[in-house]
Amino acid sequence: MTASPRGNLPLAALWFALALAGLAGTWALNLRFIADPQGLGYVEAWFVNPASSSAAVDVVVTALATCVLFAVESRRLGWTRWSWLLVPLTFAVALAFTFPLFLALRELTLRRRSRRDPAPPGA
């Protein structure tokens, strides 16, 4: 049984909404930090206690793994030229923005492919 190509649109919309939430949420807090850094550098502030250090390591390792995913999956999808923009954006903007953005764009690409190359009957 093959899902309708339209079935991917709600998921893509969810990913886009999460990307916007990630962009807005992280940058609202980043701007607050810039306004009042409390004498700490940005990365230094990530490691002020064990809880924040744990979260920082969690995000950094996930960001690195995600960048590998961007490279590998983008090659499969035929996006090799522009997908590399996501790697620096991950570190300059936010992983919470680029990862769901990537997933949304991936859903739209898969939808486009499924509409162009429908599965043969009985597949």
More confident residue, 5 or 76: 76
Instruction: Give me the mean pLDDT over the 84-91 stretch.
Output: 94
Instruction: Give me the mean pLDDT over the 88-106 stretch.
Output: 97
DSSP H helices, the chain, are 8-35, 42-46, 50-77, 86-92, 95-116
Confidence of residue 1 (pLDDT cuts 50, 70, 90): very low
> Which tens digit of pLDDT belongs to each residue from 5-37?
455 899 999 999 999 999 999 999 999 999 999
Confidence of residue 84 (pLDDT cuts 50, 70, 90): confident
Q: How many CB atoms lie within 10 A of CB 30?
A: 13
Angle, vertex CA 100, rays to CA 97 and CA 114, nearest 5: 145
92 pLDDT above the threshold of 50:
yes
Residue 5 is predicted with a pLDDT of 46
87 pLDDT above the threshold of 90:
yes
Backbone angles phi, psi at 72, to 5 degrees: -70, -50
Instruction: Map tokens 């923005």 to a residue.
Output: 97
Distance, in Å, from the CA atom of 54 to the CA atom of 67, rounded to the nearest integer, reads 20
Phi-psi category of residue 3: left, alpha or beta, with phi > 0 → left and psi -120 to 50 → alpha: beta
Is 111:8 a contact under the CB 8 Å cutoff?
A: yes
110 pLDDT above the threshold of 80:
yes
Angle between helices 95-116 and 50-77 (to 10 degrees): 20
Closest CA relative to residue 27, chosen from 35, 39, 16, 38: 35
